[in-house]
Amino acid sequence: MLRLALRVPRDHADLALAELLELVPGGVEERDLGDRIEYAVYGAPGELPALPDLQAAAGGTLVEVVTEEVADDWAERWKAFHQPITIGDRLHVRPPWADPAPEGVEEVVIDPGQAFGTGAHDTTRLCLELLLELEPGGALMDLGCGSGVLAIAAAKLGWDPVAGVDHERESVAATRQNAEVNGVEVAVSGFDLLRDGPAPSAPTVVANLLRPLLLAVSRAGFRGDQPDQLIISGLLREQADEVAAAFERFGLKERDRRTGGDWAAVLLCR
């Protein structure tokens, strides 16, 4: 097993991460090195992204690429990367090996497996914060469900039925397995938001995607009834206005916005 690390100047880090996640939707390990941020992926030789692709993902800025064999403690280091979070004293998201939620707090247990994230990244956390602002009820669709964090949290909070789609087979499998572990029903299936036409819809839609995918959804539209509530995330702060405006043609106006680091999430309502 190899560890391939990309070290990026701090002021270019979030942009590089957004581009890098298109190459490795399974997620990356992140380390703060002071003036630089390191993003690392793991895999066997031949499975890792090629060096030219990594340089392109860094947006042309000067980067350092380091390859090393994985130490024997890799499994424990990987677990340490996925930390639990508590949001609004109401929702606790944790990997299976972390301590249970405090008493009286709804718990979501997510095994990251080969799908991105357990909820700790700003893009997911901001989505969950906005989700907690809504009155639960009715159907919810999670576009790009990843490991199932948002869909499962929604089901725990009271949305029903809950569905999710993702173009990665690993994500579909991870969401299905994580939903079963949490004792909730999520109807999850494969769907390519770039190629399969209008996106599946519901009265409430959450979409933690990168800017190009969100703009693709805004152009293709939604199948059936239009959403009454849409949460969009995966956006750098400077991208939020543009993408929010792209959904105005569906009668959706910004009601709330949350930011964390260089990332933003927006709640749009009819």
What is the four-CA torsion angle of 118, 51, 166, 217, rounded to 10 degrees?
110
User: Could you read off the pLDDT of 97-113 as tens digits, one per residue?
Assistant: 888 888 889 999 987 65
Query: Rounded to an integer, what distance in angstroms lies between the CA atom of residue 204 and that of residue 27?
Result: 26
Q: Sort strands 263-269 and 253-260 into parallel, antiparallel or unpaired.
A: antiparallel
- Do 66 and 137 share a structural domain? no
- Do 164 and 44 share a structural domain? no
Residue 16 pLDDT grade (very low, low, confident, very high; cuts 50, 70, 90): confident
Give backbone dihedrals phi and psi of 182, rounded to 5 degrees, phi first. -85, 0
User: Could you read off the pLDDT of 202-248 as tens digits, one per residue?
Assistant: 999 999 998 888 999 999 999 988 999 999 998 989 999 999 999 99
- Do 176 and 144 share a structural domain? yes
- Do 258 and 158 share a structural domain? yes
CB 164 within 8 A of CB 145: yes
Amino acid occupying residue 173 = A
pLDDT at residue 267 is higher than 60: yes
Query: Rounded to an integer, what distance in angstroms lies between the CA atom of residue 60 and that of residue 35?
Result: 18
For residue 248, which of 230, 263, 234, 235 has the smallest C-alpha distance?
230
For residue 253, which of 263, 267, 243 has the smallest C-alpha distance?
267
- Do 70 and 88 share a structural domain? no
- Do 195 and 219 share a structural domain? yes
- Do 257 and 177 share a structural domain? yes
- The neighbouring-strand residues paired with 140 are 162, 204
Amino acid occupying residue 151 = A
CB 14 within 8 A of CB 238: no
Among 30, 60, 78, the domain boundary falls at 78
233: Cβ contacts below 8 Å, ≥ 6 apart: 123, 124, 126, 127, 206, 207, 208, 209, 263, 264, 265, 266
Residue 56 pLDDT grade (very low, low, confident, very high; cuts 50, 70, 90): low
Give the domain range for residue 39: 2-78
- Do 97 and 73 share a structural domain? no
The residue written with tokens 């690392």 in the block is 40
User: Could you read off the pLDDT of 78-136 as tens digits, one per residue?
Assistant: 666 667 889 988 999 988 888 888 888 999 998 765 445 555 678 889 999 999 999 99
Cα first-last separation, the chain: 49
pTM score above 0.75: yes
- Do 246 and 162 share a structural domain? yes
- Do 240 and 195 share a structural domain? yes
Per-residue tokens: 255: 């009601």
Mean pLDDT of the chain: 84
- Do 67 and 94 share a structural domain? no
Query: Rounded to an integer, what distance in angstroms lies between the CA atom of residue 40 and that of residue 66?
Result: 9
**What is the count of structural domains for the chain?**
2
Neighbours of 108 (CB within 10 A): 28
The secondary element (H helix, E strand) that includes residue 233 is strand 229-236
- Do 256 and 228 share a structural domain? yes
pLDDT of the residue at 207: 97
